[in-house]
């Protein structure tokens, strides 16, 4: 019984992929742990903003911080507890900076 002409190259390719797969670092599919409450660690928050998250990622990571986008209407009360973040967006809609007010 003869083998199909692609059987040996296919077996070699699959073996190569299996060997290379064992060399890679494990990939974590776990979601980052949300940070509840107001922002108290500004260094970690600034590092997060430096990744230019979208509004969805921001709200997932900081669910208790009110995210105010440029088109949002808000009240003018002054908050000093880092619980409301006024974001500045780039043209792609990603958060690039902002301030707590």
Where are the chain's structural domains?
42-100
Q: Which pLDDT score, from 0 to 100, does residue 77 have?
A: 87
With the C-alpha atoms ordered 45, 89, 59, 75, is the resulting torsion angle positive or negative? positive
Q: Which pLDDT score, from 0 to 100, does residue 84 have?
A: 96
Is the per-residue pLDDT at 93 higher than 60?
A: yes
Dihedral class, residue 34 (left if φ above 0, else alpha if ψ from -120 to 50, else beta): beta
2-46 per-position pLDDT tens digit: 655 655 665 566 555 555 555 555 655 677 899 999 999 999 999
Q: Which pLDDT score, from 0 to 100, does residue 88 have?
A: 97
Q: How far is CA 79 from the centre of its chain?
A: 27
What is the rounded average pLDDT of the residues 66-90? 94
Q: Which pLDDT score, from 0 to 100, does residue 5 have?
A: 60
Q: What pTM, to 2 d.p., does this model score?
A: 0.68
Contacts of 43 (CB under 8 A, 6+ apart): none
């Amino acid at each position: 019984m003869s083998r199909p002409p692609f059987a040996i190259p296919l077996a070699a390719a699959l073996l190569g992929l299996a060997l290379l797969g064992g060399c890679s670092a494990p990939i974590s599919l776990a979601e980052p742990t949300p940070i509840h409450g107001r922002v108290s660690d500004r260094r970690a928050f600034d590092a997060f903003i430096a990744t230019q998250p979208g509004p969805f990622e921001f709200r997932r990571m900081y669910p208790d911080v009110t995210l105010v986008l440029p088109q949002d209407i808000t009240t003018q009360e002054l908050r000093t507890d880092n619980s409301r973040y006024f974001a500045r967006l780039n043209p792609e809609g990603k958060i690039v900076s902002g301030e707590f007010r």
